[in-house]
Amino acid sequence: MLNIKCPYCGDRAQKEFAYGGDGTVKRPELNKEVSNKEWDDFVYMRKSLRGKHIELWHHISGCRQWFRAQRDTATHEIFKTAKISEEI
Amino acid sequence: MKTFSSLFNIHKKGKFGDFENKNEKNLLKIEELSNLLIFQLVKFKSSNFEVKKIKIDNLNLPDPLKSSSNSSTRILWMGPDNWLVISSDLNLLKQEEKKFDDKNFALTDISHSRTIIEIEGNLTDEVIKKGCPLDINDLKQGDCANSVYNGMSIVIDFISDDPKKVRIFSLRSFGESLHHSITDACLEYGYIGN
């Protein structure tokens, strides 16, 4: 069983969590002109890295908080987790 | 209009499972709790209000993963700035809501949206382990945790260590499935439905 350390609740089983996608994607600035390409990149285009990756996770059956996790996509090792307001 | 508890037609009284030739004191006891006031208290992220000043039914709001309680009321930590209040005093919300202004807090009465199953007995931990991934040995009286039981989101409130007693909360719509899962897990030990 994979354990994930929630920044609020501590070590919990992966079945309490939901994967939230790439944690590095930034939304285009509000009230700024956005090209179709920029919007397309933001909505659809994702890298599929092998190795360390920063991801969003949601402790959906726990404290219901979003947080970031640094995970190796090949080994599933989780190196670090941090609150959304914190740098990882 | 008449109201029914969520397990009104589901939970049966009596002895079930492998109870024969066993001391009644060692059997698990399963009970549905109803007629309780349940409300959620949330402090908004934009609020700077100091929650340590707040008391509900003379109880402080508990720290993360803890509960605070007196004879009528229990307060459970649900997440950052989020608590669940359970009370047998059905007027508590009306009495307390004046303390919470709309700019800082949201109070929501969810009394009718939850199923509560209380399990008592020495084998309570074994029943929880069958469906829940929590490290149950580390959890004691005064702790509470959100987790899953056979895929259903639940809250577990650890009421007492001796006798071992816990309350499991789920959404009312999952109540029947949760009751089935819990009672099924109890069968090999034998249980008394109260």
Q: Is the pLDDT of residue B4 over 90?
A: no
In chain A, residues with a C-beta closer than 8 Å to the C-beta of B145 are 9, 62
**pLDDT at residue A43 in the model:** 94
In chain B, residues with a C-beta closer than 8 Å to the C-beta of A17 are none
Mean pLDDT value across residues A81-88:
92
Interchain proximity A9–B65, CB inside 8 Å = yes
Distance from CA of B148 to the nearest CA of A (A): 6
**8 Å CB contact between B27 and B19:** yes
Residues contacting residue B188 through CB under 8 Å, at least 6 positions apart:
B17, B18
| % pLDDT > 70, chain A | 100
Architecture of the CATH domain B14-35+113-193: 2-Layer Sandwich (3.30)
Q: Structural domain boundaries of chain B?
A: 14-35+113-193, 37-111
Architecture of the CATH domain B37-111: 2-Layer Sandwich (3.30)
**pLDDT at residue A49 in the model:** 87
Of the partner residues B64, B78, B148, the one whose CB lies closest to the CB of residue A16: B148
ipTM of the complex: 0.91
Provide the residue count of chain A: 88
Q: Is the pLDDT of residue A87 over 90?
A: no
Question: pLDDT-based confidence at B92, cuts 50/70/90?
Answer: very high
Of the partner residues A11, A13, A63, the one whose CB lies closest to the CB of residue B146: A63
Distance from CA of A47 to the nearest CA of B (A): 31
In chain A, residues with a C-beta closer than 8 Å to the C-beta of B146 are 9, 16, 61-64
Buried/exposed B70-90: b ≥16 CB within 10 Å, e otherwise:
eeebbbbbbbebbbbbbbeee
In chain A, residues with a C-beta closer than 8 Å to the C-beta of B64 are 8-9
Q: Which residues pair with B146 in a beta bridge?
A: B155
Mean pLDDT value across residues B60-69:
97
pLDDT, tens digit (0-9, with 9 covering 90-100), for B7-46: 999 999 999 999 999 998 889 999 999 999 999 999 999 9
Domains in chain A with CATH codes? 3-83 (3.30.2270.10)
Mean pLDDT value across residues B97-113:
94
Of B90, B98, B102, B104, the residue nearest B39 (C-alpha): B90
Question: pLDDT-based confidence at B3, cuts 50/70/90?
Answer: confident
Of the partner residues B135, B147, B151, the one whose CB lies closest to the CB of residue A62: B147
| Lowest-confidence pick of A45-54, B70-79, B164-173 | A45-54
Q: Is the pLDDT of residue B109 over 90?
A: yes
Q: Is the pLDDT of residue A1 over 80?
A: no
